[in-house]
Amino acid sequence: MDAKNPYLVVILIQLIYTGLYVISKAAFDEGMSTFVFIFYRQAAASILLLPLAIILERKTAPHLSFSVLVKVFMHSLFGITLSFNVYNIGLKYTSATVSSAVTNSVPVITFCLAVLLRMETIKLKSLSGMAKLTGIIFCSAGILVIAFFKGPSLNPLNHHQAFGQSTSVTNHSPPHSKETWIKGSFLLIFANTAWSLWLVLQGPLLKEYPSKLLLTTLQCIFSTVQSFLVAMAFERKISRWKLKLDMGLLAVAYSGFVVTGVSFYLQTWCIEKKGPVFLAISTPLALVFTIICSSLFLGEWIHLGSVLGGVLMVGGLYSVLWGKGKESKMLESSDGDGKEQVTKEASSPSHSV
C-alpha cells in the first residue's frame, strides 16, 4: 500500500484543484467580486499559516533584512496579487475547463522564462533539446486554439446545475461572446506567466532567505494587504464585501484552507517522495476531472476547441518533461562515468605510494 500512496496523493491534489476551478467559477457566476474573493482567500491563508510560522519558526528563523523584505513584497505583488486577480477575471470570462487546460502551460512557460534568464538551456542539435522545442511549440499552439477556436459545443452531462446560476443550459447557447472568450484566454495566459516568473525567481529568493514556511507566510500577509487595496479600488459598495451562506463563502473557505493548507502540504510531501517531475506529469488529470465536474455540477458547455487546446498543451508539457528527464539522465551518466574514471585512476599502480 505504501508504494501506491504517492499515486493516490497526486490524484487527491488534482481533485482539490478541480474543486478550486469549479467552486470559484460557481461563486463568480453567482455575482461574487473576483477582487474581494482574492482578499478573503489570502486573508484565510494568512490566518492559517501565521500561527504555524510563529510556533515552528520563532527560534530558528533567519534574520530578515530590509532588502529581502522588499523583494518578498515585490514577489507577492506580481506573483500572487497580480497573478491571482488577473487569473480570476480570466476565469470569469471563460470557463472552468479553459482555466484548467491553460494551467498545463505553467511548466512550459516557466521553462521558457528560465531559458530567457539563462537558468536553463536548449541544445537544438540534441534529441532532448528538440523535445523541449517541440513542447514549447505544442503549448503555444494549444493556447492559440483555445483563444481563437471554440468549435462546436458538447452538451453538458447535467442539464440541471447542482449550483451556480443557469445560463448556458437554459439558453441553449454558450454564455460568452467571442471577444470576451479571447480576452479571458489571454488574461489566463498572462496570469500564468506572472505565476511562472514567481516560480523562477523563488529559487534565488530562497537562497537569500531559506525559511520556506516563514517566506510563504510573509508573502501571504503582503498579498492580503495588497489585495485589500486592489479590492477597495474596484469595489466601493459595502454590499459587495459581505459574505453570506452561499458559494462565495464556500469558495473562500475552500481556497484559503483546503487549497493553501492541505494541497500545499501534500505537494511538498509528494515532491519529497517522488520528485517534482512526478507531480508535474499528474497536472493533466485536473483537466479531465474539471471537464467532468464543470459539466456535471455547473452545466457548462464544453467546447471542442478547449479540449483540442488542452490536448496540445498536455502534449507540450510531456514533451518538455521528457526532454528534461533525458538531459538529467545524460548528466547523471556522465557524472557516473567521470567518478568511475577517477576511481580507476586512483586504484592504478601509477598512483600507488
H/E element, 11: helix 5-29
Rounded to 10 degrees, the C-alpha dihedral 107/109/112/113 comes to -110
Per-residue pLDDT, 262: 83
116: confidence class by pLDDT, cuts 50, 70, 90: confident
Winning range, highest mean pLDDT, from 15-19, 144-148, 264-268: 15-19
Comparing 41-45, 71-75, 120-124, 195-199, which segment has the lowest mean pLDDT?
A: 120-124
pLDDT digits (tens, 9 = 90+) for 275-323: 766 777 788 888 888 888 887 777 777 778 888 888 888 888 888 888 8
353: confidence class by pLDDT, cuts 50, 70, 90: very low
Which of 187, 191, 98 lies closest to 146 in space, CA to CA? 98
Domain ranges of the chain: 5-348
Per-residue pLDDT, 69: 93
Q: Would the CA dihedral through 179, 184, 187, 193 be positive or negative?
A: negative
Per-residue pLDDT, 35: 94
Q: Does the pLDDT of residue 350 top 50, yes or no?
A: no
Average pLDDT estimate for 192-197: 90
Per-residue pLDDT, 33: 92
Average pLDDT estimate for 90-104: 86
pLDDT digits (tens, 9 = 90+) for 11-52: 999 999 999 989 998 898 888 999 999 999 999 989 988 998
Per-residue pLDDT, 113: 87
Average pLDDT estimate for 130-155: 83
Average pLDDT estimate for 140-144: 86
DSSP 269-335: HHHHHH-HHHHHTTTHHHHHHHHHHHHHHS-PPEEHHHHHHHHHHHHHHHHHHHHHHHHHHHHHHHH
Collapsed DSSP state (helix, strand, coil) of residue 154: strand
pLDDT digits (tens, 9 = 90+) for 217-229: 899 999 999 999 9
Q: Report the percent of the chain where pLDDT is more than 90.
A: 21
pLDDT digits (tens, 9 = 90+) for 227-265: 999 999 998 888 889 888 888 999 999 998 888 778 877
User: Model-level pTM?
Assistant: 0.79
